């Protein structure tokens, strides 16, 4: 495995300066719903990162086996034709160090592993490394993640916890003030991401959050499926299963302050599969099936 990433800092700062004038990130997001990733998804990540010229860093800290998962995912990327890939299994203090920041110079792709998203944000949130990741995304790098690595992409991050759990059941109600969220990395600001969505029947928790925060779309990504979010804030679905989009931005919503029950009328739902395209700004389907 190659380890050293050279140069690129001057180019990065020039691109970031150009971005600040344009006001739009130049990078891509590849948000994967977990489970087995088909070859098409990871090949897309490598291609967006630059193929044989790609320089990719894997952050595996979400996993309880980060020391194993990181190198394995780096090797997976190398086998798919990635030019350089390395795992950075770092602590929070290391995420503020000059030595780790230097390793991000010239990086064209970043991948977040699965596991527990709170571990990942605990290590990186508010650090110099997180700031550099935003710079890389602004300048044109691709940021990818699976499962927990998908959850961290949005500004509002689902933690997986409930405030009022029921024994032997999870997320069994559509109700307010129950789903625990925390700040994510905020690469995606217009939506809340949920993962393993259809397979693990997570509709209730995403619907609850969308009705509580109707200004945000709900994006439920199933296993083996990814959203490729492009710089123009449209996304394309890649993979074997589906993506559910909940849109309550034009709905009438009510909360019962005593029971926490939620009511709504006019919520829109889209069921999208491979090849479908969606505009996050206009909140509309651009293409339902591949042409």
> What confidence score (pLDDT) does residue 16 get?
44
Long-range contacts from 8-12, C-beta under 8 angstroms, 24+ separation: 8/55, 8/105, 8/106, 8/107, 9/105, 9/106, 11/139, 12/105, 12/106, 12/135, 12/136, 12/139
- Work out the average pLDDT over 161-172: 86
Rounded to whole angstroms, the Cα distance separating 91 from 77 reads: 23
**43 CB neighbour count, 10 Å cutoff:** 14
Burial class (CB in 10 A: 0-12, 13-18, 19+), 51: middle
CA angle (131 as vertex; 109, 31 as ends), nearest 5:
40
Look at 14-28, 96-110, 213-227 and tell me which has the smallest mean pLDDT.
Answer: 14-28
Asked if 86 and 115 touch (Cβ cutoff 8 Å), the reply is: no
State yes or no: pLDDT of 20 exceeds 90.
no
Please, what is the angle between helix 66-79 and helix 39-49, to 10°? 80
> What confidence score (pLDDT) does residue 3 get?
41
Look at 9-13, 63-67, 118-122, 151-155 and tell me which has the smallest mean pLDDT.
Answer: 9-13
Mean pLDDT of all residues belonging to the chain: 92
Q: Report percent pLDDT > 90 for the chain.
A: 86
Backbone angles phi, psi at 26, to 5 degrees: -95, -5
**91 CB neighbour count, 10 Å cutoff:** 12
Alpha carbon 232 to its chain's center: 16
Token look-up 């590849």 returns 30
> What confidence score (pLDDT) does residue 167 get?
78
Rounded to whole angstroms, the Cα distance separating 283 from 270 reads: 10
- Work out the average pLDDT over 120-147: 98
Contacts of 81 (CB under 8 A, 6+ apart): 43, 46, 51, 52
> What confidence score (pLDDT) does residue 138 get?
98
Backbone angles phi, psi at 20, to 5 degrees: -60, -30
Rounded to whole angstroms, the Cα distance separating 61 from 87 reads: 10
- Work out the average pLDDT over 5-9: 40
Rounded to whole angstroms, the Cα distance separating 144 from 46 reads: 10
pTM, two decimal places: 0.90
Backbone angles phi, psi at 194, to 5 degrees: -125, 155
């Amino acid at each position: 495995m190659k380890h050293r990433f050279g140069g690129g800092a001057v180019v990065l700062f020039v691109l970031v300066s150009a971005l600040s004038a344009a006001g739009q990130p130049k990078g891509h997001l590849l948000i994967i719903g977990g489970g087995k990733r088909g070859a098409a998804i990871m090949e897309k990540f490598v291609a967006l990162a630059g193929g044989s010229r790609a320089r990719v860093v894997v952050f595996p800290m979400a996993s309880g086996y980060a020391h194993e998962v990181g190198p394995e995912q780096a090797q997976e990327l190398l086998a798919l034709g990635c030019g350089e890939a390395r795992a950075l299994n770092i602590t929070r203090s290391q995420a503020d160090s000059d030595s780790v920041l230097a390793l991000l110079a010239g990086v064209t792709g970043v991948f977040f592993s699965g596991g527990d998203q709170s571990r990942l944000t605990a290590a990186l949130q508010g650090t110099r490394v997180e700031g550099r990741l935003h710079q890389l995304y602004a300048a044109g790098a691709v940021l990818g993640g699976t499962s927990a690595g998908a959850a961290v992409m949005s500004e509002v991050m689902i933690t997986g916890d409930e405030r009022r759990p029921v024994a032997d059941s999870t997320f069994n109600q559509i109700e307010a003030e129950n789903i625990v969220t925390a700040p994510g990395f905020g690469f995606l600001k217009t939506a809340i991401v949920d993962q393993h969505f259809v397979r693990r029947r997570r509709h209730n928790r995403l619907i609850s959050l969308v009705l509580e925060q109707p200004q945000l779309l709900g994006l439920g990504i199933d296993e083996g499926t990814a959203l490729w979010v492009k710089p123009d804030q449209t996304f394309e679905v890649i993979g074997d299963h589906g993506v559910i989009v909940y849109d309550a931005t034009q709905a009438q919503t009510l909360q019962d302050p005593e029971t926490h029950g939620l009511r709504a009328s006019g919520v829109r739902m889209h069921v999208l599969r491979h090849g479908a395209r969606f505009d996050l700004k206009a909140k509309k389907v651009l293409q339902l099936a591949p042409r």
